[in-house]
Amino acid sequence: MIEAVPTTPALPARWWQHLYLQVIVAIILGIVVGEFWPDIGAALKPLGDGFVKLVRMVIAPLIFLTIVGGIARLSELSAVGRIAAKAFGYFIAVSTLALIVGLIVANVIRPGASMHIDPATLDATKVADYAAKAHDTTVTGFLMAIIPTTLFGALADGEILQVLLVAILAGISLALVSDRAAPLIALVDSAEHVMFRLVAILMKAAPVGAFGAMAFTIGKYGVGVLVNLAGLVATFYLTSILFVVIVLGLIAPAAGFSIFRLIRYLTPELLLVLGTSSSEAALPSLIRKMEHAGCATHVVGLVVPTGYSFNLDGTNIYMTLASLFIAQACGIDLTLGQQALLLSVAMLSSKGAAGVTGAGFITLAATLSIIPSVPVAGMALILGVDRFMSECRSLTNFIGNAVATIVVAAWEKSLDREKLATALSGIA
């Protein structure tokens, strides 16, 4: 008989070893380098880009394994359609609220009213590429693009919605094969654990990525770029904070949790999003943390990836706020009907350009093109500060998707309340 070898308990991490503290220090150092040595800061862009590429490298296989494993272990396949219907119902309702909040704030504060810009003086060439991409991105094209060219092409290209489609079909197939698929399901489960370990290794480079991205942002654009358009940036941040605290803050208690405790629980990921200006950088960690907080794997696997394309609360606020800012800056008064049309188009265009690089700016171009009286060239007014607003967009989108996951899990009765309370209370 072999005796078990006693294992030495892991020592608690020292204060300087916590990832969130390392990311905070990296962001501060990035700001300092970008402000005082702008040329060096601008040259550090590859650090941020490289880290985001490393994370994107594992997103497709991680989503695939999570969804396949979750669906394959389901006792009833009808749950897949039910979860998707509930998730999309939630996405539509909350996204509409985000658009309405943006419209209300823009009409009350009117951040662009004092600029008095002559539309004839705007340089349309600065935003020509964004406008062209918006024109090429249609709802039909978007839906067709969800279908990959080959079964393995989705994983190779890393398109989230294509991976989602293939994973759902593969998971359903494994569930239908039942017992004969047991070895494959066990393999998927083991591979998922390996992927999460790989993510943990990559996350150690997060401070380097955050440092490089922040140094580039400040070095390239400078803190001073905010002065001229500080009103729009401040209004956008204020609106997003109000949306998270009030709208999501009211949804959270209805599902049995506190939005503030959730934000504290996700602080390391939020700092990573802030440093890299990309919510994708924290997607693997969000999947892991939602499962750790008691959300069933199959719910997390379906809601989080679809939410990254369809539940863009921060992007929706940005589009309505920026559209009205441009109209106000150019002295154009939009009627209530035009604003309602703007809201409807923004709801669709935010889905049509999902997953496209620079999606926030591209969807804004697509939205403005529907209202002829508002010049698309007016986007040049906010081009210089879009990078700063992208961070707020990403943070709001990230928090919104975390809330959506818990809410849908609660609706599905697939939420372990005890694990959720433990996670949000900060108890290891």
Domains held by the chain: number: 1
Residue 85 lies in a domain: no
Residue 1 lies in a domain: no
Which residues lie closer than 8 Å to 365 by C-beta, 6 or more apart? 127, 130, 131, 133, 134, 376, 379
Residue 277 lies in a domain: yes
* Low-confidence spans in the chain with pLDDT less than 50: 1-11, 352-357, 428
Residue 349 lies in a domain: yes
Helix residue ranges, H only, 73-224: 78-109, 128-136, 139-145, 153-157, 160-177, 182-203, 206-221
User: Which tens digit of pLDDT belongs to each residue from 60-76?
Assistant: 888 788 878 877 777 66
The pLDDT assigned to 262 comes to: 95
The pLDDT assigned to 14 comes to: 64
Residue 196 lies in a domain: yes
Length of the chain: 428
Task: Find the CATH number of the domain harbouring 347.
Answer: 1.10.3860.10
Residue 9 lies in a domain: no
Separation between Cα atoms, residue 297 and residue 160, nearest integer Å:
17
Separation between Cα atoms, residue 428 and residue 420, nearest integer Å:
12
Positive or negative, the CA dihedral 33, 34, 37, 42 is: positive
Separation between Cα atoms, residue 62 and residue 60, nearest integer Å:
5
Separation between Cα atoms, residue 216 and residue 319, nearest integer Å:
25
For residues 125 and 383, the answer to whether their CB atoms sit within 8 Å is no
Note if the pTM is more than 0.85: no
Phi then psi for residue 74, to 5 deg, are -70, 140
Q: The domain containing residue 112 runs over which residues?
A: 18-77+91-425
Residue 11 lies in a domain: no
**In this structure, how many other beta carbons lie within 10 angstroms of the beta carbon of residue 421?**
15
Residue 3 lies in a domain: no
The pLDDT assigned to 323 comes to: 83
